[in-house]
Amino acid sequence: MKIAAAAHGCDTKAVIGKRLQTEDTLFILELDDDTGELMTADPMPKTASILELALLIVENDCEAVISGIIEKEGFDILAKEQVTRYKGTGLTVLEAVEKMAGRQLELFTHAEGESHSHEHGALYGQSEIRNSKGKREEG
């Protein structure tokens, strides 16, 4: 499995910052499909725009990206290509990968500046719950 992680630094101890497009390095990480163990971490050169970053992630066949906030045009490309988007701000690349493998990372469900839910039933982090009669309850 390949994932991308955007961080400020040149190795996997680098910290993931607040915004995908402002980080120094985009890592393309290869994980063992059976164990989730990190096999390789290839740093990619910084690109100029969020659009270029999103396309680089897609072109490298990444199934997920771990980053900070993602601007709308990049988010839309990643969502269209079904790349899972995880929040990793403040974690090192290695910590984020471990938390992702343990299903402990929060997902980005919408781009920066969007206030509506996509298909996930969440608005600003609120979950939507339906009772046994199909009526909506806040969770």
Phi, psi (degrees; rounded to nearest 5) at 36? 80, 5
For the stretch 84-102, pLDDT in tens is 999 999 999 999 999 999 9
Contact predicate 70/38, CB 8 Å: no
Answering whether pTM is above 0.75, one says: yes
Contact predicate 81/62, CB 8 Å: no
Query: How much is the pLDDT for 119?
Result: 43
Domain annotation covers residue 103: yes
Question: What CATH number does residue 23 fall under?
Answer: 3.30.420.130
For the stretch 46-98, pLDDT in tens is 777 899 999 999 999 999 999 999 999 999 999 999 999 999 999 999 999 99
H helix or E strand, kind and range, residue 112: none
Averaged pLDDT score across all residues of the chain: 82
Domain annotation covers residue 44: yes
Q: How many structural domains does the chain have?
A: 1
- Which amino acid is located at 7 in the chain? A
CA distance 70 to 91: 16
For residue 9, the 8-state DSSP code is S
